[in-house]
Structure 1
Amino acid sequence: MPRTYLFALTDGGGTVPPEVGAARRLVERGHRARVLAEDSMAPEVRATGATFVPWPTAPNRPDRDPANDPLRDWEAPSLLAQARDLGDRLIAGPAPRYARDVLAAVDDERPDLVVTSVFAFGAMAAAQSRGIPFDVLVPNVYALPAPGRTPFGAGLKPARGPLGRVRDRAVTALSTRVFDRYTRDGLNALRADLGLAPLDRSWEQLGAARRQLVMTSPAFDLPGPLPPNARYVGPVLDDPAWADDAPWTAPPGDDPLVLVALSSTFQDQAALLRRVVAALATLPVRGVVTTGPSLDPGAVPGAPNVSVVASAPHRAVLREAALVVTHGGHGTLLKALAADVPVVVLPHGRDQGDNAVRVTLRGAGVALRRTASTDQVARAVRRVLEDPAYARRAAVLGAAVRHDAEHSTLVAELEAVEG
């Protein structure tokens, strides 16, 4: 029976294709999907066949120009400042406006299910206050604090022995206190206005979800228990709509093709991209660099064997590629692995250090600091291309990623709601 879904989404750059991909799959199944989202996401939402509705009062950037990025995490001088800005600008600060917009949409639509981005806490509380079930999309590895899981954001390897477990508990406790410091009071004030009980810990808001839908392959994630309402549903490997038909041409020749993709959002990556181009220029390879919508390709001069374009359909490029150089975003990594392509990872922050650990533990690539020199990048590229073990291990992991993408339970979970 057709159902009505209300999506409440925020623009997280690489999180957008899998999240709007969920809406597209529901529309293809004959359901009605209305998507509250930012204007920067409008073309991608409309391409799904869902109804796009811009956020009326909640944060709504017009485009992906860095000047309109509400977080601007590349400017934060410390991890503590990043946590403060995350709470003030993305979670607790705008939560009342997200709640106001979702309440109006819920009262208008009476959807069977509300589906939210992971930081849209106000949208979650609004649905909860109206007695409407809500699901949370987690288009990354599972990052929330949970006993027995490696703490998020520190790029840590799995704990070994009692000292490792003490490390994990200490890091998790510290990160939880910091997160609560900048989010809990604001979220509880909103919940009180909505007639909801207060949270002891801010992350408990996700515990009220009907489902937390973890959109990755468990073969890629590190082992560890999930909360009772969380499910691995497999990755969504869709390219963004703005890249689907983008023209691209690889430099001529038969040398190995290297795809360079550092982020679809601005992370102050131009200097690193220039060093990567300089590194590839010294090697017998062909390079294709995609800068994404937030960075002018003119900021990254190419080379005779390296072309620089704003965008290209990564799925098409990967059919020819022998290596991917990336910042370690979840979507780029899983697309590379699904194509059996090894990687060189230069994490910038966010979840990228954690993703790099998942790659290197499986032997599917190598990781460098984002401050790596031209020579260091060149050595890493040469190392991965010249040692076939990296491609073999990437293919092993890629087979599991493809299987989980092809046998995704995402739609089944979203449809398993009373309506």
Structure 2
Amino acid sequence: MRKNFLFATWAGGGAVPPTLSVARALRERGHGVRVLGDRSLHDEVAATGAEPITWTTAPQGDTTDPAGDLLKDFEARTPMGAFARLRDRLVCGPAADFARDTLAELRARPADVLVTDFSLLGAITAGEAAGIPVAALGTTLYPFPAPGAPPFGPGVRPATGVLGRLRDRLLEEMIIKPWAKGLPALNAARTANGLPPVDSVIDAFGRVDRFLVLSPRALDHPGRRFPSYVRHVGARLDDPAWVGELRLPEGEAPLVLVSLSSTFMNQRELLRRIADALGRLPVRGLLTTGPAVDPATVHAPGNVLVTSVAPHSAVLRHAAVTITHAGHGTAVKSLAAGVPMVCVPLGRDQGEVALRVALAGAGITVCKSASPGTIARAVGRVLHDPSYQRQARRLAAEIAAETATDRAVTELEDLAERAPGPSPTLSG
């Protein structure tokens, strides 16, 4: 039976393609799908067959232009500063605006299920106030506290012994405490919509019917125990609509794909050092700068082809190694293709993704300030030690099994079937 789904998302770089992949899959199954999001996403949404709708009062951004980036976390001097921008400019600060826009759309055209990026607590608030099922999409590793794993963020290995467990408790307190500054704005949005306040921001992330983790279960800590509403539904491996045609550098040498963030993260100098590193090796390099960096600003040796975009899923069928910032999308696509990695985390969730890749034996990590020589040695190590490719191929088999059926769509259709159905109107 045809159902109606309202998606809520934002111009969050790597979070956009997996979200729109789910929207496309539902549309292809004959459901009605609308996507409430930033104006800059209009064309990408339309390419999925879904109907794009623009936020009216909620803040908007455009990650292809640093000046239009909503968070501008590349301006932050510390990780805490970057976190504060996320909290104040997206998750909590404008929660009332996101709630207002989402409820306005639901009143105009009711939906059976609200599907929202997990970071949009304002949209989650709107779904709760409207009384319809809410599914949050986690487009990276599950980031909240759960028994059996260290806290998400610092990129530390699982604890062993009493001291390790003490370390985890202290880290968890340090990570949760800064969320408190966002609680007044969040609770103001909740009470304005007739909902009781929550005791913590972390609690609000769990006020959903489903939290769908669009990430391989094999990348998470094996002993981790999740809340009952959390489902690992597998990674989305679709390329964005803007990736262009396949073009590979000439020759037969091993191919190294370079992919840093699709958003601006002050990565231009690192791209230059990576290009220099590849010039020292008997390889072919395909260096993609992403939409936010002009490829003409990255000077490269003759064995490295520099381009703005490329269809990574197609490139990876030819690649021997990926050099990446360890963004979740690039990492899981590389693993799905059985390609090991050299990870160079720049911030955000990337340290955690890089750690999981290393723990799985499918790659190594170097720091973002690494010299061309250090990067070249890391690439040589991954190229010539067969254990990295062996572990990447092991994960590829697990990802293939996990994505053989579309678990995200199944979960969302199940939510819609069990829902009472949208009312003709919602109270104002």
Match of 2:19 in 1: 19
Offset, 1:158: 1.1
Name the counterpart of 1:58: 58
How does 1:160-309 map onto structure 2 within 5 Å?
A: 160-181=160-181, 183-223=182-222, 224-243=224-243, 246-309=244-307
1:221, distance to aligned residue in structure 2 (A): 1.4
- Bigger shift: 10-19 or 145-154? 145-154
CA RMSD, 1 decimal: 1.1
- Taking structure 2 as the reference length, the TM-score comes to 0.95
Measured in 2, the distance between the counterparts of 1:62 and 1:74 equals 14
Moved more, 79-88 or 299-308: 79-88
Q: 8 Å contact 1:220–1:401 — kept in the other structure? A: no
Deviation for aligned residue 1:63 = 5.6
Match of residue 416 from structure 1: 414
Give me the whole-angstrom Cα distance separating, in 1, the residues matched to 2:333 and 2:158: 24
Once the two structures are superposed, residues 357-393 of structure 1 have per-residue CA deviations (whole angstroms, 9 ceiling, x without a partner) of 1111111111000111000000000111111111111
Paired amino acid for 1:415: E
Q: Per-residue deviation at 1:93?
A: 1.5
- Measure, in 1, the Cα distance between the counterparts of 2:133 and 2:257: 41
- Alignment match, 1:374: 372
Deviation of residue 248 (structure 1)? 4.3
Identical counterparts, % of pairs: 47
Paired letter, 1:212: F
Offset at 1:247? 3.2
> How many residue pairs are counted as aligned between the two chains?
416
1:16-41 C-alpha deviation (Å, 9 max, x unpaired): 11001111010011100010011222
CA–CA distance in structure 1, aligned partners of residues 147 and 317 of structure 2: 40
> Partner of 1:89 in structure 2?
89
CA–CA separation in structure 2 for the residues paired with 1:405 and 1:167: 35
Q: Give the Cα–Cα distance (whole angstroms) in 2 for the partners of residues 253 and 129 of structure 1.
A: 59
Deviations 1:159-212 (A, max 9, x none): 11221111111111111111222x111101111111111111102112210100
Which aligned pairs between 1:32-71 and structure 2 lie closer than 5 A?
Answer: 32-62=32-62, 64-71=64-71
SS of aligned partner of 1:128: helix
Show structure 1 runs of 5+ residues with no match: none
What's the offset of the Cα at 1:302?
2.4
Aligned with residue 319 of structure 1, among 317, 320, 331: 317
The answer as to whether partners of 1:249 and 1:307 remain within 8 angstroms in 2 is: no
Letter in 1 for 2:289: T
Three-state SS of the structure 2 residue aligned to 1:255 is coil
CA contact (8 A) 2:63 2:263 kept: no
Q: Aligned with 2:172: secondary structure?
A: helix
| TM-score, normalised with respect to structure 1 | 0.97
The structural deviation recorded for 1:407 is 2.7
Shift of residue 62, structure 1, vs aligned partner: 4.7
How far off its partner does 1:90 sit?
A: 1.0
Do 1:237 and 1:405's aligned partners in 2 also have CA atoms closer than 8 Å?
no
Report the Cα distance in structure 2 between the residues aligned to 1:84 and 1:142, rounded to whole angstroms. 20
Alpha-carbon distance in 2 for matches of 1:334, 1:62: 24
2:348 counterpart residue number: 350
Larger displacement relative to structure 2 (31-40 or 143-152): 143-152
Cα distance in 2 for residues equivalent to 1:247 and 1:411: 28
Runs of 4+ in 1 over 6 A off after TM superposition: none
State the AA in 2 paired with 1:396.
R
CA contact (8 A) 1:287 1:306 kept: yes
SS in structure 2 opposite 1:406? coil
Report what 2:126 is aligned to: 126
Question: Does the CA-based 8 Å contact 2:357-2:364 persist in structure 1?
Answer: yes
Does 2:392 match 1:394?
A: yes
